[in-house]
Each structure stands twice: as structure tokens, then as C-alpha cells.
């Protein structure tokens, strides 16, 4: 790589001027005339047969254009909603249509749509629709759902069990025999609601006489949506264009082909008019998928010196009412639950179950937070049981630098990583020894300080194509087009679809370094399926490792062509010409250079090109890396528990993260801040709760608590940089690392604070009530 100037620079984001002035365009901001508003009537029942839908009175209401039910629309579905393999090829799952046909399986499932001249008219008419249900017993609990005699959601499957599969290697029974210490623990991953601050929204415009469909959607995956709109609606894919305009956060919740994308498109095709649907928050909490909702049971075999010999985890996953598109992606947790540690045996089992709840799917981290919570709690449980400091237990079991590239028991190979160095740095930042002394002092005064560690690793950067095809069911790669214009400015088109990550800025930095074109002369375009060949979109912290590198490769191809053109213009041998900082010259004579601007002109004045060379200065890349990337780091959380109220206050939060090369460190830190906050949210505040009838009790932001500014501290961040060897930029991913790492750091700190009370585990969220009760369960006496 040429001397890097932009990669590594914290330049300000070019996205921001439009966003801070309120002039960015999210779906609901797109001007559109004669638009029809869609309102979705959703099931009020968790489990019921639809006996009939009475729409007569509603149809007469002011402004109503049409009312459509599942029965009306069924003939128009060329296929059900997609479900991908996601680590469980043989799972059982039902056909899932965008709207219920004769049965509903969760509260919030679409049962009818009202199309009207205004949103208010559609909602008013909706009040007049009567859906007759025959209620069926609902099942909400994972374990109850697979008991004999449980009500069955999808009769055609015979039971509520989707899959029960093993992920095992090594001899766990032998490990248990060899162990001095065995521990069994149940760890609950409560159900979470993603809550992107912009709810979802779709605007679909079908042009009847050209058979062309344009859909604007608040989605992370415009390219996937394009393919599936074509398949489900039976429109040639070449006639479908999907645009993700400004998207107000995703966190995994916008990574699915959603019913409303299909329904607005179908309605637009029927009416020959644009149709818009904007989700309100009350819908969002039920209609947009949830995350987590798993039980992990683990059995641990360890020696009294702290060596972990093996673990036997079982993951019970609540899939909800259907198997969502990436619903079993959470099983990835099983594949990476070994964490940063060596062990001899891993005996995993993953079970997936249907219940009458909103479907679950990817939510920031998707499987990796669960895995990290498991293994980082395991380390602390072993520490507690053996009486060894949690730092030492981690050191004892760490994969070392000299073990890299390390292959796990389940056969995944880490690309790189130096876990000891990040840990040491974090310990230094908090002054660990002094902290432990302070903790001991404070305990004497009846104050409960807790110190929690999380020395996480994570897998991201999905591709490689072959591995993801086998494991996930989709070939994942990065895509870019780099096009230098006549005047020497450039356009970069990418296959990722950012929604807050700043790709417009960071990818310009990448291209600028290779081409020597100033960043401000490079425009980065994304989120529109009409502008590039194809994309694999944005999720799983994949964009920079894939599409970022695709930009690098395309820019390098363009540079190579520019060098060839320059050689011709300079009448020099190709091998003698070098390209540096936007200029090409014969080695040793930089004063006689041709600039990229001059080369670009020649590229379009094609008679000036070498014989046989085509015009243009453009390259396209489908980048396929050789492995996944594996970021890692050490987070330390220091909490104080209020003995009176049980409330947890985070005193310090220190994070040392290594995501390889940092293209824009400011953006990387921002991703970490938000990620850490979301992980803290799971640890302390967030939980989706259903009542026995399957009604969501946490159905608004009044009841479902996402962290506010006053709930959080400022974060202390530091970095180590271990470039990934599997891509040319050396980048890894960072979008989810904060969330993956922080939940166990906080929970380990809380359990540590409560050590004097004999508390070995606290379930999430660690609400003041719960913590207070644990402190007082023996009448307040300490151990």
C-alpha cells in the first residue's frame, strides 16, 4: 500500500451537514404526490384461527380506497417469505406469508390492510374492521412449548420443535472426569426489542404500463429486498429497484425482507398508485423482530488451578411465531462460544422452538453477545469457584499470540489476535490492583464496588463466499465500482448499505489513498439497487472488511490501468512507470509526471490509448476474503451498587479494542460508544415481557427502557491494532463489538459487587428490585 494519508485519519463525516440541518431524507420525508396510505390491521390474539374478517362498514368510511385480507392477497404470493439456512440446514419451519391467511401466531401479525387517502382515514376505517377469531391456547415459554400436550403452532410440523442439533468436539465426559471443579449454571438471555429510533417505513411505486416497481424502504438490505420482491411478486428482477434512503438505525432489526415491503408493493400494483406505510412505535415493538430470547444451560469442567477443560452448553432459542429470515443466525453463538480460550472439549447443543411471540432474528451481535456472555460468565464462575482472580483465570486459558492462527475445537480459525496485550492495557487503565484494594476498603464501609471483565473475541466480516454459502446459505462478498470521471474526480459505488456507519466518508478515504484523488473529489454512493451490479448489504459488522476492501481492490485496479495509460502517454515502458499520490512518472523522474486528471482525459479520448485498450477508467470488484475476521478486546466495567436501593451505577467503563486497521478512528470509537451502550441496556434495563395471553406488556418506550444519557457514563477507550491478514486493508469489524463485550463486563461487575452476599449469578436485566432482593434474601446477612 502506498504511504497512507487518509486511512487512519479522523476526518469529519460528509454525511453530517445534511443530517444536522434536518435536510436528509428518510422514507417518510420523500415527497410523493397522490400517495395512498396503508394501515395494517394486526392480530390482537397470540394464537387463533381467523373465522372471518368483516370489512363492509370500514369500506364505507371516508377516504377508503380498498381493504385487503390474507385471503384476497394469497393468490398473488409467488413464494412465502424467505428463510435462510443459518447454521441449521435441516430445521423445520412453516411457510410464512406476509399476511395471515387463516391462522395467527403472535400478537402483531398482519391480518388485513386498509388503503386510504390519508393515514388518519386508514386508521379510522381500521377501527371499523371486525376480525372474528377462534382463540387457541397460546404457548410463550421455550420449555413449555416442547412439553407433551403443548398447543402446537404449526400443525403441519407436528410439534413446536424446529431443530435439535449438536456442535461437539473433544471428549466432554473425559473432561468432567479429569475436573476438580464442575459447575452447572443456567444463563438467561432475555428477549430484547431493538428500537432503532426511526421505525420502519416503506414507499412502493408500481408503474403499471412499464411493469416497473420502485420501493423505498428503511432497510439494511435493499439488495435482498429487491431479489425477493421480484420472486414473491413475479416481476422481473431487472424491473425492480429498491432504495434505502437515509435509514435511522438498524441494529439488525431492518435486516429482513419484511411483510410490509411486500404488502405495499402488492397494493401499489393493484391500485396503480404509490403506497406508503410508516410504522408507528406501538407497531414497531410487535411487528419488527425481537432479539435474543434464549436460555443457555452450561456445564463446566475445570481444574483447581483455573484451567478450563471443557464446557457443555445448550442453547434454547425462542424463534417466535415463525422462523424469521435469519432466525437461526443466533446459532452462530454456539460456533464461537469457545471465546478467547483453549480447552479440550466442547459439547454444544442447539435447540430452536416456536412460541406465540414476535419472531426473533438478528439483533446487534446476533449470537455473539450470547456466546460471549456465556464464556465470560464461565471464566468468572470458575474464578469464584477456585478462588483465583478472574484476570488470572483468563490468562491461564487464553489462546496466545504464538497459537495464532488458532483453530477452535469446532474448526474455525482465528485470523489473528493478541489477547494478553489488550487485557494488560485495560488493567493498566483502570489500575486494577488499586481498584481491588479500594473494593476491599469500601466493603468494610458497607459499600459495594464491583469489577467486571470481558475479554471477548468475535467473528465478523462475512464472507468468505464458500464458507458463508455452506453455513448461512448465501454467498457473501463485498462489492465496489470505482469510476474516475473525465475531470479526474471519482465515484465509488458500494454494495454495503450504511445506516449511520459513515461509509460515504470512510470509503472515500480508502479510495483517496490508492488513487491520490482528494477525498472531497470522491463521491460514495450506496443504498440503491439501480446504481451498481449487486450488493450484500450491511449487517454482522461486515461492511468495512468486505465492501471497504472491495473499494481498495477496485481502486487498485483503476490505478493499474492509469499506470498503463500513463506509460503510453510518457512513451515509456510499462514496467518503468510508478503511480504515486495521483501522479504517474518514470521511476526517478517525478518532475515529468502525468496527473490522474490528464490520464482520465486520455481514458475518454480513446484514440490516445494504447492499441487494444478499451476506454474508461473504471473497475468493479466482487471481493472474497480468505477467512472471517476476528476482532477482540478487553473491557472492564466498574460499578457501585447502592445498598439501600439495589441500583447499579457504572463508575467507569474502560475498553481496549482491536479491530485491525482503523480507517477513521473517530467513526470506530463512535461505533464502540453506541455498541457499549446497547450492551449496557441489556444488562441493566431492557426486557420484553409478555403476559400469559401473549400480550406484550412492554409495548411502548414507557415500559421498555432503553438507556438515556443520564443512565450512562462517558467511556474510556483505547486501541491496539493487529491488522487482519485476510484482506488488503487489514480491517476487521467494529459495529457489534461494543455490544458483544459490554453485557458480560457489566454483569460480571455486578456479580462481583455482590460477592459478600454469596451471589454467584444475577439474571438480566439487573434491576434495582432484583439486586436488592438478592442482597436481602437471607434477611440481609452477608456470607
Partner 1 sequence: MRRRVAVTINGTKHEHEVEPRLLLVQYIRDVVGLTGTHVGCDTSNCGACTVELDGHSVKSCTVFAVQADGAQVTTIEGLAQGTTLHPLQQAFWDEHGLQCGFCTPGMIMAARQLLARNPNPSEQEIRVGLEGNLCRCTGYHNIVKSIQAAAKVMAPGAERKAPAPVS
* Least distance in angstroms from the C-beta of 514 to ligand FES: 30
Cβ distance to ligand FES smaller for residue 367 or 502: 502
Q: Is 31 in the site for partner 1 (CB under 8 A)?
A: yes
* Least distance in angstroms from the C-beta of 650 to partner 1: 12
**Among 94-102, 546-554, 661-669, 684-692, the segment contacting partner 1 (CB under 8 A):** 661-669
In sequence order, what are the beta bridge partners of 345? 310
Q: Is 534 in the site for ligand FES (CB under 6 A)?
A: no
* Least distance in angstroms from the C-beta of 783 to partner 1: 35
Number of residues that bind ligand FES (CB under 6 A): 3
Cβ distance to partner 1 smaller for residue 254 or 394: 254
Burial readout 706-734 (b: 16 or more C-beta within 10 A, e: otherwise): bbeeebbbebebbbbebbbebbbbbbbbb
Q: Is 663 in the site for partner 1 (CB under 8 A)?
A: no
* Least distance in angstroms from the C-beta of 336 to partner 1: 24
* Least distance in angstroms from the C-beta of 560 to partner 1: 33
* Least distance in angstroms from the C-beta of 585 to ligand FES: 45
Q: Which does 231 bind (CB under 5 to 8 A by kind): partner 1, ligand FES, none?
A: none
Using DSSP, state whether 441 is helix, strand or coil.
helix
Backbone angles phi, psi at 604, to 5 degrees: -105, -20
Q: Is 715 in the site for partner 1 (CB under 8 A)?
A: yes
Q: Are 278 and 201 in contact (CB under 8 A)?
A: yes
* Least distance in angstroms from the C-beta of 317 to ligand FES: 28
Give me the residue label for grid cell 487489514. Answer: 730
Give residues 199-238 in contact with partner 1 (rule: CB under 8 A): 199
Using DSSP, state whether 360 is helix, strand or coil.
strand
Using DSSP, state whether 587 is helix, strand or coil.
coil
Cβ distance to partner 1 smaller for residue 654 or 667: 667
Q: Are 316 and 353 in contact (CB under 8 A)?
A: yes
Give residues 235-254 in contact with ligand FES (rule: CB under 6 A): 249
* Least distance in angstroms from the C-beta of 141 to partner 1: 28
Give residues 667-686 in contact with partner 1 (rule: CB under 8 A): 667, 669-671, 673-678
Give residues 233-272 in contact with partner 1 (rule: CB under 8 A): 246-249, 251
Q: Which does 631 bind (CB under 5 to 8 A by kind): ligand FES, partner 1, none?
A: none
Give residues 493-532 in contact with partner 1 (rule: CB under 8 A): 499-502
Q: Which residues contact 114 (CB under 8 A, 6 or more apart)?
A: 38, 39, 40, 41, 58, 64, 66, 67, 122, 123, 125, 126, 129
Q: Is 670 in the site for ligand FES (CB under 6 A)?
A: no
Q: Which does 685 bind (CB under 5 to 8 A by kind): partner 1, ligand FES, none?
A: none
Using DSSP, state whether 569 is helix, strand or coil.
helix
Q: Which does 502 bind (CB under 5 to 8 A by kind): ligand FES, partner 1, none?
A: partner 1
DSSP secondary structure of 245-312:
-B----TTTT-S--HHHHHHHHHHHHHTS-EEEE--HHHHHHHSPBEEEEEEEEEEEE-TTS-EEEEE
Residue (of 568, 549, 562) closest to 515 by Cα position: 562
Burial readout 186-223 (b: 16 or more C-beta within 10 A, e: otherwise): ebbbbbbbbbbebbbbbbbbbeeeeeebbbbbbbbbbb
Cβ distance to partner 1 smaller for residue 389 or 716: 716
**Among 7-15, 78-86, 485-493, 557-565, the segment contacting partner 1 (CB under 8 A):** 7-15
> 50 to each of 70, 98, 109, 684, how far by Cα in Å?
10, 15, 12, 39
Cβ distance to ligand FES smaller for residue 123 or 178: 123
* Least distance in angstroms from the C-beta of 357 to partner 1: 22
* Least distance in angstroms from the C-beta of 498 to partner 1: 9
Residue (of 736, 734, 733, 675) closest to 707 by Cα position: 675
Give me the residue label for grid cell 488493567. Answer: 427
Residue (of 228, 217, 235) closest to 275 by Cα position: 217
Provide the grid cell at 506. Answer: 470512510
Using DSSP, state whether 327 is helix, strand or coil.
helix
In angstroms, how far is the first alpha carbon of the chain from the final one?
A: 60
Residue 765: cis peptide before it, omega within 30 degrees of 0: yes
| Closest residue to ligand FES, based on beta-carbon distance | 197
Q: Which residues contact 570 (CB under 8 A, 6 or more apart)?
A: 577, 584, 585, 586, 592, 594
Site string for ligand FES, 464-503 (x = CB under 6 A): ------------------------------------x---
Cβ distance to ligand FES smaller for residue 246 or 293: 246
Among 1, 51, 79, 120, binds partner 1 (CB under 8 A): 120
Helices (H) then strands (E): counts for the chain: 22, 26
* CA atoms of 516 and 504, how far apart (whole Å): 17
DSSP secondary structure of 114-183:
EEESSHHHHHHHHTT-EEEEEE------HHHHTSTTPPPS-GGGSSSEEEEEEEEES-HHHHHHH-SEEE
Cβ distance to partner 1 smaller for residue 246 or 458: 246
For residue 575, with 0-12 CB atoms within 10 Å meaning exposed, 13-18 middle and 19 or more buried, which class applies?
A: exposed
Among 51, 197, 466, 530, binds partner 1 (CB under 8 A): 197
**Could you write out the three-class secondary structure of 499-536?**
CCCCHHHHHHHHHHHHHCCCHHHEEEECCECCCCCCCC
In sequence order, what are the beta bridge partners of 203? 216, 276
Cβ distance to ligand FES smaller for residue 18 or 433: 18
* Least distance in angstroms from the C-beta of 69 to partner 1: 25
* Least distance in angstroms from the C-beta of 603 to partner 1: 28
In sequence order, what are the beta bridge partners of 242? 215
* Least distance in angstroms from the C-beta of 679 to partner 1: 10
Site string for partner 1, 687-706 (x = CB under 8 A): -------------xxx---x
Among 2, 4, 9, 19, binds partner 1 (CB under 8 A): 19
Radius of gyration of the chain (CA): 28
Among 161, 388, 429, 712, binds partner 1 (CB under 8 A): 712
Q: Is 197 in the site for ligand FES (CB under 6 A)?
A: yes
* Least distance in angstroms from the C-beta of 745 to partner 1: 14
Q: Is 63 in the site for partner 1 (CB under 8 A)?
A: no
Cβ distance to ligand FES smaller for residue 13 or 442: 13
Q: Are 81 and 325 in contact (CB under 8 A)?
A: yes
* Least distance in angstroms from the C-beta of 368 to ligand FES: 22
Cβ distance to partner 1 smaller for residue 334 or 508: 508
Q: Interface with partner 1 by CB under 8 A: which residues?
A: 12-13, 15-17, 19-26, 28-29, 31, 120, 195-199, 246-249, 251, 280-282, 499-502, 666-667, 669-671, 673-678, 700-702, 706-710, 712, 714-715, 738
Q: Interface with ligand FES by CB under 6 A: which residues?
A: 197, 249, 500
Amino acid at each position: 500500500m502506498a504511504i497512507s494519508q487518509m486511512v487512519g485519519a479522523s476526518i469529519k463525516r460528509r454525511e453530517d451537514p445534511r443530517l444536522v440541518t434536518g435536510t436528509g431524507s428518510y422514507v417518510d420525508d420523500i415527497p410523493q404526490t397522490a400517495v395512498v396510505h396503508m394501515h395494517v390491521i394486526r392480530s390482537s390474539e397470540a394464537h387463533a384461527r381467523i373465522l372471518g374478517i368483516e370489512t363492509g362498514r370500514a369500506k364505507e368510511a371516508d377516504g377508503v380506497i380498498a381493504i385487503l385480507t390474507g385471503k384476497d392477497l394469497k393468490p398473488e404470493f409467488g413464494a412465502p417469505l424467505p428463510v435462510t439456512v443459518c447454521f441449521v440446514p435441516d430445521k423445520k419451519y412453516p411457510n410464512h406469508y406476509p399476511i395471515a391467511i387463516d391462522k395467527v401466531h403472535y400478537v402483531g401479525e398482519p391480518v388485513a390492510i386498509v388503503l386510504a387517502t390519508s393515514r388518519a382515514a386508514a386508521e379510522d376505517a381500521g377501527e371499523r374492521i371486525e376480525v372474528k377469531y377462534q382463540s387457541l391456547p397460546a404457548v410463550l415459554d421455550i420449555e413449555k412449548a416442547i412439553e407433551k400436550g403443548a398447543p402446537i403452532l404449526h400443525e403441519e410440523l407436528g410439534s413446536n420443535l424446529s431443530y435439535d442439533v449438536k456442535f461437539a468436539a473433544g471428549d466432554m465426559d473425559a473432561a468432567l472426569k479429569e475436573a476438580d471443579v464442575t459447575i452447572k449454571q443456567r444463563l438467561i438471555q432475555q428477549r430484547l426489542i431493538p428500537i432503532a429510533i426511526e421505525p420502519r417505513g416503506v414507499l412502493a411505486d408500481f408503474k403499471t404500463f412499464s411493469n416497473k416497481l420502485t420501493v423505498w424502504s428503511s432497510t439494511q438490505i435493499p439488495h435482498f429486498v429487491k431479489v425477493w420482491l421480484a420472486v414473491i411478486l413475479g416481476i422481473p428482477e431487472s424491473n425492480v429497484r429498491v432504495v434505502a434512503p437515509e435509514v435511522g438505525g438498524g441494529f439488525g432489526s431492518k435486516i429482513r425482507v419484511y411483510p410490509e415491503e411486500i404488502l405495499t408493493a402488492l397494493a401499489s400494483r393493484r391500485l396503480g398508485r404509490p403506497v406508503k406505510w410508516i410504522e408507528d412505535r406501538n407497531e414497531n415493538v410487535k411487528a419488527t423482530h425481537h432479539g435474543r430470547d434464549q436460555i443457555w444451560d452450561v456445564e463446566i469442567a475445570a481444574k483447581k488451578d483455573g484451567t478450563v477443560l471443557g464446557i457443555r452448553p445448550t442453547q434454547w432459542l425462542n424463534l417466535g411465531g415463525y422462523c424469521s429470515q435469519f432466525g437461526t443466525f443466533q446459532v452462530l453463538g454456539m460456533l464461537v462460544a469457545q471465546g478467547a480460550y483453549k480447552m479440550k472439549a466442547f459439547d454444544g447443543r442447539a435447540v430452536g422452538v416456536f412460541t406465540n411471540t414476535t419472531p426473533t432474528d438478528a439483533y446487534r451481535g446476533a449470537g455473539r453477545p450470547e456466546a460471549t456472555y456465556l464464556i465470560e460468565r464461565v471464566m468468572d464462575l470458575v474464578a469464584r469457584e477456585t478462588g483465583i482472580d478472574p484476570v488470572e483465570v483468563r490468562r491461564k486459558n487464553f489462546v496466545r499470540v504464538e497459537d495464532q492462527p488458532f483453530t477452535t475445537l469446532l474448526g474455525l480459525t482465528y485470523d489473528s489476535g493478541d489477547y494478553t496485550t489488550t487485557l494488560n492495557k485495560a488493567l493498566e487503565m483502570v489500575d486494577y490492583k488499586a481498584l481491588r484494594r479500594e473494593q476491599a476498603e469500601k466493603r468494610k464501609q458497607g459499600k459495594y464496588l464491583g469489577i467486571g471483565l470481558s475479554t471477548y473475541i468475535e467473528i465478523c466480516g462475512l464472507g468468505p463466499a464458500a464458507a458463508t454459502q455452506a453455513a448461512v446459505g448465501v454467498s457473501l462478498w463485498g462489492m465496489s465500482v470505482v469510476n474516475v470521471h473525465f475531470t479526474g474526480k471519482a465515484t465509488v459505488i458500494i454494495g454495503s448499505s450504511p445506516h449511520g456507519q459513515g461509509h460515504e466518508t470512510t470509503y472515500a478515504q480508502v479510495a483517496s489513498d490508492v488513487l491520490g484523488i482528494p477525498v472531497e473529489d470522491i463521491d460514495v454512493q450506496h443504498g440503491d439497487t439501480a446504481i451498481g451490479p449487486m450488493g450484500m448489504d450491511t449487517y454482522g459488522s461486515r461492511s468495512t472488511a468486505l465492501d471497504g476492501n472491495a473499494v481498495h481492490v477496485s481502486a487498485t485496479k483503476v490505478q493499474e490501468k492509469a499506470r498503463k495509460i500513463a506509460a503510453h502517454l510518457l512513451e515509456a515502458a510499462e514496467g518503468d512507470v510508478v503511480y504515486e499520490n495521483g501522479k504517474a512518472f518514470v521511476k526517478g523522474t517525478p518532475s515529468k509526471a502525468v496527473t490522474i486528471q490528464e490520464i482520465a482525459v486520455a481514458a475518454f479520448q480513446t484514440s490516445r490509448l494504447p492499441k487494444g485498450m478499451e476506454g474508461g477508467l473504471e473497475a468493479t470488484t466482487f471481493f472474497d476474503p480468505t477467512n472471517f475476521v476476528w476482532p477482540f478486546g478487553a473491557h472492564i466495567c466498574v460499578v457501585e451498587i447502592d445498598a439501600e436501593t439495589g441500583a447499579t451505577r457504572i463508575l467507569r467503563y474502560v475498553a481496549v479494542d482491536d479491530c485491525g486497521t482503523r480507517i477513521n478512528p473517530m467513526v470506530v470509537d463512535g461505533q464502540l460508544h453506541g455498541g457499549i451502550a446497547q450492551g449496557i441496556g441489556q444488562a441493566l434495563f431492557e426486557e420484553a415481557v409478555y403476559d400469559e395471553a401473549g400480550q406484550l406488556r412492554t409495548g411502548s418506550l414507557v415500559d421498555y427502557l432503553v438507556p438515556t444519557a443520564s443512565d450512562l457514563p462517558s467511556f474510556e477507550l483505547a486501541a491496539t491494532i493487529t491488522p487482519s491478514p485476510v484482506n488488503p486493508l487489514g480491517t476487521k469489524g467494529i459495529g457489534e463489538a461494543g455490544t458483544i463485550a459490554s453485557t458480560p463486563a457489566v454483569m460480571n461487575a455486578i456479580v462481583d459487587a455482590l460477592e459478600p452476599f454469596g451471589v454467584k449469578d444475577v439474571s438480566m436485566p439487573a434491576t434495582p428490585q432484583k439486586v436488592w432482593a438478592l442482597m436481602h434474601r437471607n434477611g440481609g446477612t452477608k456470607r
